[in-house]
Amino acid sequence: MLRMFLFAVFFCLSSLCLAAATPPGCSSAEVAKPDEEPVFLQDSGSTNTAPFCYTVSHSGEVIKRSGTTPLQRKQGKANPPDEQESIPASLATKLFSDVEAAMPLSGLPVAHCVKSASFGTSRYVWFKGERSPDLCGRDNEKVSALKDDFAKVMSTAAFEHQQSRE
């Protein structure tokens, strides 16, 4: 009975997170026009890498919201302030085009990737309430395109605070 209850609670919480307009840990600041939804690029972080989320608009504006590592949280450190940068409009257009082509994101194949339990991170793309599976694999053309776009946005947006490692 307890098992059923816990499953129901997990299912409800999962549904709320997946249906949220802004994914957990991402900026709720408006970077897009009211009639345009942004793309969210989310990294889970790991033992020594802070989680982060990029909120990307059609125009190329990017807001980075970072979290803290477990050690930083233990030391009482607060999350760094949100940062704002931009990427070329052509990269934003490609990102949005690839995301639209991959919809529904939740229908993309799940890759089973070998990762360190402590140091492995997971990366997701969120759009219109849909979340991709972890972008760790390259067995699918659409997943591969999203993974490449994620990397290009990260390397192009020159944020002052990079992922902290401790």
Domain assignment of residue 21, given as a range? 2-156
Residue scoring higher pLDDT (7 or 89): 89
Angle CA(62)–CA(65)–CA(70) in degrees, nearest 5?
A: 150
- For the chain, how many structural domains are there in total? 1
Angle CA(154)–CA(112)–CA(69) in degrees, nearest 5?
A: 45
Per-residue pLDDT of 105-133, as tens digits, reads 999 999 888 887 777 889 999 999 999 99
Helix (H, G, I), strand (E, B) or coil at 31: coil
Asked if residue 128 is part of any domain, the answer here is: yes
Specify whether the CB–CB gap between 108 and 142 falls below 8 A.
yes
Specify whether the CB–CB gap between 124 and 18 falls below 8 A.
no
Asked if residue 20 is part of any domain, the answer here is: yes
The predicted pLDDT at position 33 comes to 66
Question: How sure is the predictor about 4, in pLDDT bands with cuts at 50, 70 and 90?
Answer: very low
Asked if residue 143 is part of any domain, the answer here is: yes
Asked if residue 8 is part of any domain, the answer here is: yes
Residue that has been written with the tokens 């085009």 in this structure = 97
Mean pLDDT for all residues in the chain? 82
The predicted pLDDT at position 22 comes to 81
Asked if residue 166 is part of any domain, the answer here is: no
The DSSP secondary structure of 106-135, one letter per residue, reads GGSPPP-----TTT---EEEEETTEEPPPT
Asked if residue 162 is part of any domain, the answer here is: no
Token pair for residue 137?
């694999």
Q: Percent of the chain scored above 70 by pLDDT?
A: 80
